[in-house]
Amino acid sequence: METLAAARPGSGSKSAPALIDKWIYVGTAILLLAIILFGFVPDSLEKLEAVRSGERPPFPLILHVHAVVTGAWALLLLAQTVLMATGDVSRHRLLGRAAFVLAPAFVLSAIILVPAIRMQGAQAILHAPPEAIAGLKARLGTGLDLLLIQIRSVGGFVLMVAIGLWARTKNSGLHKRMMILSLVPMLGAATTRIPWLASTMPASPMSIIMWPLVAMAPLFFWDLYRQRRIHPAYLILLAYAAATAIPVLALWGTAGWRDAALGVLGLPRVPP
């Protein structure tokens, strides 16, 4: 994944703008990785303690696989940006081959994970004591709503990675941006787990939609300043974000969507 800055007059100098051009992708990769860690590590530790104490069932194996693959993808992008910032193009290209393994692994693990987690929720309702059913139903309902976000996220990841890999030998500027932007679809799941970030959940997914875009603002505005135009990579991201936000917002919390989701996932119908 090539992350060299697009050629500009004076880009080889040691001026502050040139240095930022060189290292801003490393900084962005670190920022996005930090968001993922801040979101998932405390939440995961809390849930693992709940499993240990018997307050919730053990996590399915696929959840751990998905977590490892997601982390590996974020670390791969960080390593790739560092390699290009330090001029190690040959290792960058060699390591980039891992993307052809990790990207499909991420998508496959996400597809397997969703019904596995929702099945746990449906089964818990069917076997829970009466006093716990109302809370479990609310949690399952939110989980079925989150399926909309998960579909949107996987689709966005596939789109960004596909364009990024296609452009790797044709357009280095598009390539480097699309590969970094491939992390954006993952961020919503992390930002919603950070307690000090403003959240609209569970009433609305707007915060899940907006916070990942906010995270990309530094890179976006720096590109806008340096290039005096909006790079096509951001137009692709924004077009996908807007087009997919409309059905997500329209279907969120509706009985029709939740019933359809149960059917699609092959989950048992829960009693009203």
Residue-wise pLDDT for 35-66, tens only, equals 999 999 998 889 888 888 877 778 888 888 99
What b/e readout covers 26-65, taking b as 16+ CB neighbours within 10 angstroms? bebbeebbebbebbbeebeeeeeeeeeeeeeeebeebbeb
pTM: 0.86
Confidence of residue 134 (pLDDT cuts 50, 70, 90): low
Please name the residue that has the structure tokens 């939609």. 209
Average pLDDT over residues 189-207: 94
Interhelix angle 130-166/255-265, rounded to 10 degrees, is 80
Average pLDDT over residues 97-104: 95
Which two structure tokens, joined as six digits, stand for 155? 């689709």
Which two structure tokens, joined as six digits, stand for 44? 């995961």
SS3 category, 49: helix
| Backbone phi, psi, residue 8, to 5° | -140, 155
- Please state, rounded to an integer, the average pLDDT across all residues of the chain: 86
Report the candidate in 150, 141, 120, 114 with the shortest Cα–Cα distance to residue 202.
Answer: 141
Confidence of residue 187 (pLDDT cuts 50, 70, 90): very high
Confidence of residue 269 (pLDDT cuts 50, 70, 90): low
Average pLDDT over residues 232-246: 96
Is there a contact between 108 and 154 (Cβ–Cβ < 8 Å)?
no
Average pLDDT over residues 76-92: 95
Average pLDDT over residues 234-252: 96
Interhelix angle 61-85/172-181, rounded to 10 degrees, is 150
